Amino acid sequence: MFKWKKLGRLFTPADLPGDSWMKEYAQSPSAVVFDDFVRVYFCTRPAPSADGQYMSYLAYLDVARDDPTRVLRVGDAPAMPLGGFGAFDEFGSNPISVIRNGDEMRVYYAGWTRCESVPFNAAIGMAVSRDEGHSFARIGAGPVLSYSPDEPYLLGSPRIRKFGDTWTLWYVAGKAWLKTAVRPEPIYRLRMATSQNGVDWVKHGQDLLPAKLGDEECQACADVIEQGGRFHMFYSYRQAQNYKTGEGGYRIGYAWSEDLRHWTRDDDAAGMSLSAEGWDAEMVCYPHVFELDGAFYMLYQGNQMGRTGIGLALLENPQRWSQR
């Protein structure tokens, strides 16, 4: 089992002054290491509109490289505006994944659009920063990965990595919408696409992991790291219904692979469980693992889909990477 030591809650918008543009949620954390700090990108929301509708924006905070639990600064404005009228990302960008590419940075994100029969739909967009990650501009008004005959429903939860010359994007593809007593709920599973330029993608067209919780299991945000001659995936899974608090909520799972295509699911080895009480006692999800000066950290979000903020954990047994 991986042994993660929780270092505490890193950030929640509730700690900011009352005039901050951020009001609720810190979701989908993604880290980029700079010379003397680490920039943590995440998704956050201003106050909802009068009819209770939220929008979600890309934001960031910087933490000290020598002490990543210490927040240095928080971005004072969204790092990317929402899409224009009628665009696939008119109402939100969430989740996100950020990667450095030479002298630029790229963000891959799920863009939200509102629907009539179901609450929302989503496709995956891409934007580029050429000012050290302070702001991002879309490469175009449309998504880089969207619906297709074999993936007819929402696409989202992008996680990006580059191994050698190949870009790999993990994402979720909607399997169906459930009609429930409260509202329609999506079922989605993890899939993968590859690219030689990070823009034009080839979908591999198959679910990566078996469902542990039955046909209505949802899987999301697969973050993959290569260590010890293997690929290691940390991801989220939950029930399709009654998941926002308590027993049906997100948990963090784990799988490993030798070739990125065939995965062995071993959730008991993930090592990231609920706390006995507090901000992450009901839910842990959307993990992101990164290496910093020889140590490995996990960023993750807590209760109520990240409404209570994001936390940081340290891997105490890095030798686990190479264990068979």
Confidence at 324, pLDDT banded by 50, 70, 90: low
Q: Which of 259, 266, 310, 321 is nearest to 287 (CA)?
A: 310
DSSP one-letter string for 15-71: GS-TT-S--EEEEEEEEEE-SSEEEEEEEEE----TTS---BEEEEEEEESS-TTSE
pLDDT at 247: 79
At 101 the pLDDT is 95
- CATH number reported for the structural domain that contains residue 304 in this entry: 2.115.10.20
Is residue 51 over pLDDT 90? no
What does the pLDDT look like over 79-89, one tens digit per residue?
999 999 999 99
CA-closest candidate to residue 126, choices 173, 93, 84 = 93
Overall number of domains in the chain: 1
pLDDT digits (tens, 9 = 90+) for 251-263: 999 999 999 999 9
Averaged pLDDT score across all residues of the chain: 96
Residue 323: pLDDT over 90: no
Domain that residue 26 falls in: 4-322
User: Which of the two residues, 48 and 161, has the higher pLDDT score?
Assistant: 161
Distance CA 200, CA 188 (A): 23
Residues 75-101 have a mean pLDDT of 97
Strands in the chain per DSSP E: 4-11, 24-33, 37-45, 57-64, 71-74, 92-101, 104-114, 120-129, 137-138, 155-163, 166-178, 185-195, 202-203, 217-227, 230-239, 251-257, 263-265, 285-292, 295-301, 310-315
